[in-house]
Structure formats: C-alpha cells, structure tokens
Amino acid sequence: MGEARAIVETTQKVGGVAVAPSLPDGLGVDLRDELEKRFPELRVVELTGDDASVVSSLYLPEDPSLPPDLHAARWVSDHTAKLTADWLELCRWDPMLPPDVDLPLGEELIGALALAMAEPQPLGWGPDPDVERVAERFGEASASLDVAIGELVCLRSVLTRAMSTEVPAVHLFEVLERMNMIIDRAVQVVAAETADRLQREALVDPLTALLNRRALERDGRRESGRAARYGHDFSVMVIDLDGLKEVNDTEGHLAGDIRLRLLSNCLLQSLRTSDSAYRIGGDEFVLLLPEMESSGTAAVAERIAAHGAPPFSWGAALYGADGSDLESLIGVADGRLYEARRRRRKPSHA
C-alpha cells in the first residue's frame, strides 16, 4: 500500500490504478477507498481472482523519486545476464546473421549501456566514454562490420521490447529516445573501428606483417609528391630473397615462409623511423628511404645482412636521377638487382 501511495503522489499523469484484493501491507479495498477520497480524478479498479497477476507486471520502482531513465538504467543493470541471453537468441534467429554467431563482450556492453543511460548527456557530446571503449573492443572482436552492426540492431530490438514492458507508457518515449541515442553512438564507434581495422588489414601482408603493394603505391605517390614539391631526395631499394624456390621445393613451404619472416624482421630492424618496408611479391621486397641518396643504400644492405638476414640480392634507384615516379624507380632498381646477381654468379677467371 505504501509503495502505491508513493507512486501516485510522486508521479505525474497517473490515470488509473489496479488494486489487488490482498496486498503485503493491507487490503486492496482499503487502499481503493483511500485513493478515491484523496484523488477524485483517479480511476481505481479492484482486481479479483487471477486478475491479481496483473499487479506483478505493473511498473513499481524501488525508489519512486528516481527519474524514469534512472529506473530503466537500474533495471537493465540488474538484468544484464537475462538481456544478454535474449540478445544472443535473437541474433541466432536473425537470417541476416550467421547461425553460430557469438556475442563478444555482450554482458560488458549491456552494462556500459546501462551506466550511460544513468548519465544524461547531450547528443552533441558524442559517445559515452565507457560505451566507446567497450564498443571499440566489440568491433575488434566481431567477425565483420555487417555482423557487428546486425548484432547491435538485435540488441536495440531486445532492449526496446524490455523497456516497453518495464517502463510506464507516459515515460516510454523519453527512455527509448535516450537508449536509442546511446546505441546509435555505439553503432558509429563499432563501424569506425571495424572500418579502420579492415583498412589496416588491407594494407598489410598477412605472412610477414609488412606493408603490401597497395600501401607501397599509396606511400610512393605521397613521397614522389613531397620530393617534387620540396626538392627532397629519396631512394627505392628492391630486395629479393635468394633461393626461395629451391627451399620450397626441397624443404617445404613452411621453411620458405620462415625465411621470408626472418628477412622481414631484419628489414625492420635495419631501417630508420622514416623508412618503410613492403612485401610486393613472393620473394620480392621494396624499401622506401626518404632523404637518402643512392650512395647510402649500400650501408642499408650491410645493416640488413649484419642482422642475420638469409642471402638476398638488391638494387636501388634515386628519385630524379633514375625516374620521377614509383614504377620507373622500381624498374631501374629491379634491373640493377638482376645485374648484381648476374655478376655475382658469373664464374671468375684467373
């Protein structure tokens, strides 16, 4: 009875009350009479029999003085495990998602959403910091961007359905608007993080973790533009791992992969901070060396060998003297590589 009185007294726009015959602290008929006298405009209905079960589904918050968004946030926080289970079930029924879909950080994300719902924040402020941190990790752990966003769509559906049951109709729009803003920001964070990850992966060779040909073309255009604009030098080195085919044929491709990774590590250990290394083919690597004349490339080759690299051949070209675009420079450096290899293999005469 005391809880019902507090709700009527502290909540605006209550149009009616359903009273059960028996209450924990008194009789329903007594509460009905009291409410009708104190609030003549209030419609009071006394339930009978099984109708009393309706009372258990009414929104009776523990603290009626709390704003509706805080009540909703508390309810979500208290039911995180159940909401996560419902979320996973809906995802596995969704035809747009894989049937074996999983929810990385599911409970953690719902917990962060509950905290954000309890922290009023204008739309212009961007994502809630806690939601942003968890959403970034959620995006990283997701199989793909479409799966991550599909999972968040299902989360929105689960939370909307739950709020529609737990929040009074008079406050539902306000609570859902707040909740949807938070989820929309989480979708933005996941999309941005997943897109960044896919872009990074698109520019990296999976075997050696060096940059790939696409990254070389991007960086080569940038370096050529800087050199043309400011008159800076830069060199290009082309490096081939010697004997890779023979190693693959005699020792297996795993042994060849080990040599490729070893050479890649030696390249990285030998370069300056401003230099970049790329794998552009099976056994072919390219180095971009800003602010370096061709005379300095021999020292780079010596450092690579000194770090324990497997046998390799190399050639270099200088921007301006040997060409003004990346393709021309690689062609010149490649020709010098094969010339050096030919001279090395040519039998010497006494």
Q: What is the pLDDT of residue 130?
A: 85
Closest CA to 268 of 243, 255, 250, 285: 285
Q: What is the pLDDT of residue 270?
A: 94
**Strand partners for 313:** 240
Cα dihedral 182, 187, 75, 31 sign: positive
Tracing tokens 């803003």 back to the chain, one arrives at 181
> What single string gives the DSSP state of each residue in 288-348?
EEET--GGGHHHHHHHHHHTTPPSEEEEEEETTTS-SSHHHHHHHHHHHHHHHHHHHHSPP
As a whole number of angstroms, the distance between CA 265 and CA 306 comes to: 12
- Whole-angstrom CA distances from 41 to 1, 8, 28, 44 are 19, 12, 19, 9
The CATH number for 68-202, chosen from 1.10.3470, 1.10.490, 3.40.50, 1.50.10, is 1.10.490
Greatest distance between any 2 Cα atoms in the chain:
123
- 213-345 folds as Alpha-Beta Plaits (3.30.70)
Q: What is the pLDDT along the chain (350 residues), one digit of tens a residue?
A: 555 555 555 544 555 666 666 666 667 677 667 767 777 666 666 666 544 444 444 444 444 555 667 878 888 999 999 999 999 999 999 999 988 888 889 999 999 999 888 876 554 566 778 888 999 899 888 878 888 899 999 999 999 999 988 888 888 888 898 889 889 989 999 888 888 877 788 899 999 999 999 999 999 999 999 988 888 889 999 999 999 999 999 999 999 999 999 999 999 999 999 999 999 989 999 999 999 988 899 999 999 999 999 999 999 999 999 998 999 999 999 999 999 998 887 765 54
Q: What is the pLDDT of residue 236?
A: 96
Q: What is the pLDDT of residue 21?
A: 65
Closest CA to 158 of 108, 109, 87: 87
What are the boundaries of each domain within the chain? Answer: 2-56, 68-202, 213-345
| pTM (predicted TM-score) | 0.57
| DSSP, res 126 | -
